[in-house]
């Protein structure tokens, strides 16, 4: 029985509230062997005090050695095995810019590229053209008309854009055009199953038109389509966990993933203070809150150790206000590590703390990677967190008689 | 998705080097409850210094409680789930004596046995006859001719030998002749699928001839065939990990297993010094090295605690020379435990250390079982080691977007 099947079988309704606080990319690395990680360097009296009355541990987002993207990292936090439930690249791109994807839409991630006179790719990213240029080219590509379907072309960033086809009878199961190496031409989209043949034909018509429209541009005189996909139709958290779920996140990507798993996405502002305000406003309406802090990851990706420390410290000052709402279960962790020294998502385990009235304190007094290595939760996986949260909230019945 | 599928999907090429140092059977047990294990008793300043700047932990070769043979123990180290990928006993026997097994050969492990006048087995190991007697009997059995196939009979040790049939159209899927108890006769080889019928017939012809040739011998007046198998055609490490893989081992068995997973086996001498020399000579040619030290296991099997300590100490003196090559990732562990007090492979977890620039030090200052139990890697599995090595070498892309 899968994790989610077990939850679906055992979950019961209740009045308790679970708060999942996700500091995106919070896991870090020391800059010198004896130095602290970002989280350890941060002055976090409130997180430390919470850790001292919690059970702590380390959590593996997907599997040892695997650095997850934001999609798999969050699916795992919500209890979905990311090796089983995949969100296509096109769908993630749509979520990332807040595009209102419909269940039958086919979404593709587009990459502008450079072609030589023979039509072979010489640069898969078109020299990373500025975002403004990408936007202008997308405006041009919006002129493309396809029979019986609506098309949407939206700029994302630099050489990346989103293409969505909307209409009846569009099936997924399509190959991508990117040959993944230079010196080859973009490949035709091919259907992997008979029902997808029409969609393949439409994407190929679009590609031919796009090539004609881009012919006089440079370096972005061509493009590729990757990860053509639909909303994966994931099982929904309210059905699985019998929880009314609210999501508070400032970035479209995370709001989008939350929507895919059936959470209600609450309107909020740009800052963590805005998010806390949103949490307070809606506190009575939901049983589960996903509260997402983005900037820890952003500073990690920038390689900005000090900046990441500051985001953590900022969050720490707001923690007492959050905890004053008196949740029954609190989890603090991240979706993955983003060490400033690595400047990207990494595979490293995440420190995690779990507080409820029903935990066994483990002597960990500081919320940091090294203290949590010795924590009472041991080394768990992200997909274990929701079952633990549910249990500590008194929302799971006994398994078997 | 399996471990290996995930690696195949995420692996990227790079310039980094991974060094897997395997001390065969290094895990041990204390002789008294408060005493040290072999590794803890050994004076290992270099391993300890490396542990202090590494992340440490304990690793389970196959599954809790399972004592692996050399085949499964090493497959797991190389990232192959040994419960999924099996190497037949006959193939392992061939590898163990350095027999140059061809892809279509059928290899059987032979055991001389003692039969009574009714043809029933009275001793499944023929009184553990000396190796020289076994060799003489093998010479005799080489006289057996079979239609259209070549046969090879090679002594292994005491009552054990190797039988290989080579020819066209030989399929595996065959039962063994050993009834696994005394008082029964050797069983006929039976095909488990129709294609294997001819091979079964050939093995049975061979068995009949062998019985005739051995009739005037004693106690080895009969034999059995076990684990009749082919090269399992394992996926190859260079394809999975995009690593050029070199193997350095003094014993045929380990060279053989390395060859099965697609490593290039480097010629070397008899000593660890010879192996270090080989490593240095070939350092520029490979991205991954499997470096195998045999004698830790041998001394453990002998029940020679002090001898095992000495092998570990000897290896320790050579470690600085090895590390001076500046690998990007170093792993030190064993394939399984071989405690001197147990005199055999055991199921106990193995201490493991992982060094790279991107680890979180965990405060473990000594490479030994008890210190590593508190290590930051926690309790992992051997099949997790290659993904971790690949990640720390910067040779895996992100999973999902």
Rama region for A281: left / alpha / beta (φ>0; ψ in -120 to 50; rest) = alpha
Question: Which neighbouring-strand residues pair with B30?
Answer: none
pTM above 0.95, yes or no: no
Peptide bond connecting A17 to the previous residue in cis, omega within 30 degrees of 0: no
Per-residue model confidence (pLDDT) at position B341: 97
pLDDT at res. B231 = 94
To the nearest 10 degrees (0 to 180), the angle between helices A272-282 and A305-323 is 20
Contact B400 A87 (CB under 8 A): yes
Whether A111 has its CB under 8 Å from any CB of chain B: the answer is: no
Is residue A10 within 8 Å of A394, Cβ to Cβ? no
Residues of B in contact with A341 (CB under 8 A): 358
Supply A253's token pair: 């990507």
Q: Which of A62, A342, A370 sits opposite B399 (nearest CB)?
A: A62
Residue B150 gets the label, from left (phi > 0), alpha (psi -120 to 50) or beta, of beta
Q: What is the pLDDT of residue B293?
A: 98
Phi and psi at residue B165, to the nearest 5°: -105, 130
Q: Is the pLDDT reported for residue B76 higher than 80?
A: yes
> Chains A, B: CB contacts under 8 A, how many?
95
Q: How many angstroms separate the CA of residue A64 from the nearest CA in chain B?
A: 6
Percent of chain B with pLDDT over 70: 100
Q: In CATH terms, are B3-85+234-392 and B91-229 the same topology?
A: no
Asked if omega into B219 is within 30° of 0 (cis), the reply is yes
Rg (CA), chain A: 23
Residues B138-158 pLDDT 10s: 999 999 999 999 999 999 989
Q: What is the pLDDT of residues A201-212, one digit of tens each?
A: 999 999 999 999
* B379 contacts A347? CB cut-off 8 A: no
**Over residues B44-57, mean pLDDT:** 98
User: Any chain B CB within 8 A of the CB of A70?
Assistant: yes
Q: Which residue from A minimizes the CA distance to B401?
A: A69
Report the side by side order of strands in the sheet with B329-333. Answer: B264-265, B245-248, B288-293, B18-23, B329-333, B350-355, B55-60, B378-381
- A67–B contact, CB cutoff 8 A: yes
Architecture of domain B3-85+234-392: 3-Layer(aba) Sandwich (3.40)
Give the pLDDT confidence of A54-86 residue by residue, as tens digits: 999 999 999 999 999 999 999 999 999 999 998
Region at A73 (left for phi over 0; alpha for psi -120 to 50; beta for the rest):
alpha
Residue B284 in this model has a pLDDT that exceeds 90? yes
Q: B331: closest CA among B3, B46, B13, B22?
A: B22
pLDDT value of position A89: 87
Residue B181 pLDDT exceeds 80:
yes
* B360/A37 Cβ within 8 A: yes
Could you identify the residue written with the tokens 């080859």? Answer: A184
Q: What is the pLDDT of residue A241?
A: 98
**A194-198, B91-95, B212-216, B384-388, range with the lowest pLDDT:** B91-95
The Cα–Cα gap between A393 and B384 comes to 33
Q: Is the dihedral of CA B164, B170, B175, B179 positive or negative?
A: negative
pLDDT of B80:
98
A339 touching chain B per CB within 8 A: yes
By C-alpha distance, which of A170, A164, A176, A191 is closest to A93?
A164
Please state, in angstroms and as integers, the Cα–Cα distance from residue A261 to each residue in A87, A231, A290, B111, B282, following that order. 11, 10, 12, 60, 52
B194: pLDDT strictly greater than 90: yes
pLDDT for residue A1: 84
Nearest CA in chain A to B358: A29
Tell me the C-alpha to C-alpha distance, in Å, between residue A85 and each of A77, A104, B1, B57: 13, 18, 11, 30
Provide the residue ranges of all domains of chain B, joining segments of one domain with +: 3-85+234-392, 91-229
Token reading at A378: 């041991």
Q: What is the pLDDT of residue B215?
A: 96
- According to DSSP, residue B196 is labeled G
Q: Which residues lie across from A11 on neighbouring strands?
A: A396
Strands (E) located in A89-244: 106-115, 121-123, 150-157, 160-166, 222-229
- The overall average pLDDT reported for chain B is 96
pLDDT-derived band at B252, boundaries 50, 70, 90: confident
Tell me: pLDDT of B306 over 90. yes
A63 touches B394 (CB < 8 A): no
Round the average pLDDT of chain A to a whole number and report it.
96
pLDDT band at A29 (very low <50, low <70, confident <90, very high): very high
Residue A179 contacts residue A116 (beta carbons within 8 Å):
no
* Tens digit of each residue's pLDDT (9 = 90 or more) over A264-304: 999 999 999 999 999 999 999 999 999 999 999 999 999 99
Closest by CA to A234, choosing from A256, A249, A251, is A256
Q: Quick: pLDDT tens for B325-373.
A: 999 999 999 999 999 999 999 999 999 999 999 999 999 999 999 999 9
ipTM: 0.89
pLDDT value for A33: 87
Pick A345's closest partner by Cβ from B1, B390, B398: B398
Give residue A401's pLDDT band: very low, low, confident or very high (50, 70, 90). confident
* Local confidence band at A323 (pLDDT 50, 70, 90 cut-offs): very high
B212: left (phi over 0), alpha (psi -120 to 50) or beta: alpha
The residues, ordered by sequence, that sit 6+ positions from B165 with a Cβ below 8 Å of its Cβ are B105, B106, B146, B149, B150, B151, B199, B202, B203, B206
Position A98 pLDDT exceeds 90: no
pLDDT band at B96 (very low <50, low <70, confident <90, very high): confident
Residue B72 in tokens: 């499964």
Q: Which residue of B has its CA nearest to A69?
A: B401
> What pLDDT does A157 receive?
87
- Please determine, for residue B401, whether its predicted confidence score (pLDDT) is greater than 80: no
In the CATH scheme, what is the code of domain A3-86+234-392? 3.40.720.10
CATH 3.40.1350 fits B91-229, yes or no: no
Identify the pLDDT of residue B98.
87
In this prediction, residue A180 carries a pLDDT of: 85
- Tell me the pLDDT tens digit for each residue of A342-386: 999 999 999 999 999 999 999 999 999 999 999 999 999 999 999
**Is the CB of A348 less than 8 angstroms away from the CB of B363?**
no
User: Could you say which of B1, B378, B401 has the minimum Cβ distance to residue A83?
Assistant: B1
Q: Which residues of B touch A83 (CB under 8 A)?
A: 1, 6
pLDDT tens digits along B164-176: 999 999 999 999 9
CA A312 to CA B242: how far, in whole Å? 38
Radius of gyration of chain B (CA): 23
Over the stretch B104-116, which tens digit does the pLDDT of each residue have? 999 999 999 999 9
- Which whole number is the average pLDDT over B74-94? 94
């Amino acid at each position: 029985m899968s994790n989610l099947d077990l939850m679906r079988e055992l979950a019961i309704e209740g009045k308790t509230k679970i708060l999942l606080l996700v500091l995106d990319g919070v896991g870090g690395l020391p800059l010198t062997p004896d130095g602290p990680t970002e989280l350890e360097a941060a002055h976090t009296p409130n997180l430390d005090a919470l850790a001292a009355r919690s059970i702590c541990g380390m959590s593996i987002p997907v599997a040892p050695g695997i650095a997850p993207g934001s999609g798999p990292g969050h699916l795992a936090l919500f209890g979905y095995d990311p090796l089983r439930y995949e969100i296509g690249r096109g769908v993630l791109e749509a979520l990332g810019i807040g595009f209102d994807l419909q269940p039958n839409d086919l979404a593709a991630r587009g990459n502008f590229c450079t072609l030589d006179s023979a039509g072979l790719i010489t640069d898969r990213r078109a020299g990373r053209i500025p975002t403004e240029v990408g936007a202008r080219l997308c405006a041009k590509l919006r002129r493309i008309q396809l029979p019986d379907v609506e098309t949407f072309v939206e700029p994302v960033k630099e050489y990346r854009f989103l293409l969505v086809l909307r209409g009846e009878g569009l099936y997924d199961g399509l190959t991508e055009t990117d040959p993944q190496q230079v010196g080859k031409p973009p490949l035709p989209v091919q259907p992997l199953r008979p029902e997808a043949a029409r969609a393949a034909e439409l994407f190929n018509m679009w590609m031919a038109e796009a090539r004609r429209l881009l012919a006089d541009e440079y370096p972005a005189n061509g493009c590729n389509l990757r990860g053509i996909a639909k909303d994966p139709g994931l099982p929904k958290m309210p059905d699985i966990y019998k929880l009314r779920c609210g999501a508070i996140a400032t970035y479209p990507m995370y709001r989008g993933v939350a929507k895919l798993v059936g959470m209600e996405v609450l309107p909020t502002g740009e800052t963590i203070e805005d998010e806390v305000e949103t949490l307070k406003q809606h506190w009575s309406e939901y049983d589960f809150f996903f509260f997402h802090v983005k900037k820890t990851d952003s500073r990690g990706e920038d390689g900005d150790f000090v900046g990441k420390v500051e985001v953590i410290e900022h969050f720490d000052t707001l923690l007492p206000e959050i905890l004053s709402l008196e949740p029954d279960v609190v989890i603090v962790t991240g979706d993955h590590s983003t060490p400033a020294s690595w400047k990207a998502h990494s595979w490293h385990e995440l420190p995690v703390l779990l507080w409820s009235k029903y935990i066994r304190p483990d002597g960990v007094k500081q919320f940091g990677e090294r203290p949590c290595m010795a924590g009472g939760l041991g080394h768990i996986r992200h997909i274990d967190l929701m079952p633990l949260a549910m249990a500590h909230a008194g929302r799971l019945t006994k398994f078997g008689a």
